[in-house]
Every structure is written in C-alpha cells, then in structure tokens.
Amino acid sequence: MIRSTNRAELINDVLQTDDEDFLTTFKLFKLQHKQPKQQRINQKEQVWILILKYFPTEPFETKELFAKTIIDRSTVNQFLNQFKAENKIKRCRKIGVHYRYQIVKNEEASKPQTKTDENTRPRYF
C-alpha cells in the first residue's frame, strides 16, 4: 500500500485521521517496539539447557542427546567438547561409536584436572 500510493499523502492522511480503532492500533504497535526484545538463546545454551533438563543426575550418551535436538551432530559434539573443557561435564566411557557423559558436581569441578599420559606414569619392570 505504501509503495503504490504517494508516501507523503499517506503519512498526512494518517496524521489527520480521527479513527479511534486506527489510533489505538497504531499506539499499540508503537508500544510493541518500545518493549525490550527477548534475547535469542544461542545453540550452545540450548544444548546445555537440554542436558540440564533431561539428564540432571544420570549419565547420558551422545545418541540420546542427538535425538532431543535438531542441531547437527558435529556441532553438538563441539559443544560437548567445550563443556568438557569448561569442566561442566566429564566423559565417562565410549560405547560403540557414542560417548557417555555426566554432569560434573560442584565439588568435582573445584578439583584441578590432571592428565596422565604414558610419559608421566611410573613404569614397573
């Protein structure tokens, strides 16, 4: 409608109208834009919310998490690795091609994580 008519005339008509319904609608429309917009939750936060909602205490497999989200598997795996690096979850074991994870409790999260590899372990002959 705005493109098909002269924009200046249309704005002038709007400013001079006495139609109550139109004015009420226009005021509501203006108020709608003044309200703070709800922030979108990013994908990483969505995955974390799913983990907290469905697996708060028990360990979960990646395939169970894949079934509950529409985000592709590689992205979910990246987020799981980031959560592991942030010490939010820990990897329990691998079952077939799927890993098993568990949420880290607060007292476990406060402990520093030490990695042991073959060079640092004592060798017994």
Residues 76-90 have pLDDT tens digits of: 999 999 999 999 999
- 17 versus 87: the higher-pLDDT residue is 87
Position 97 scores a pLDDT of 79
> Cα torsion at 88, 84, 61, 41 (round to 10°)?
60
Position 80 scores a pLDDT of 92
Position 125 scores a pLDDT of 45
Sheet holding 60-61, edge to edge: 60-61, 98-103, 89-95
- What is the reported pTM? 0.53
Position 104 confidence tier, pLDDT thresholds 50, 70, 90: confident
Q: In the structure encoding, which two tokens stand for residue 35, read together? A: 């309200």
Q: For CATH 1.10.10.10, list the domain ranges present in the chain.
A: 43-110
Are residues 63 and 78 in contact, defined by beta-carbon separation less than 8 angstroms?
Answer: no
Query: How high does pLDDT run on average in the chain?
Result: 74
Q: Within 10 Å of residue 78's Cβ, how many Cβ atoms?
A: 15
Position 85 scores a pLDDT of 92
Between vectors from CA 113 to CA 107 and to CA 119, what angle results, nearest 5°? Answer: 155
Q: Is 43-110 CATH 2.160.10.10?
A: no
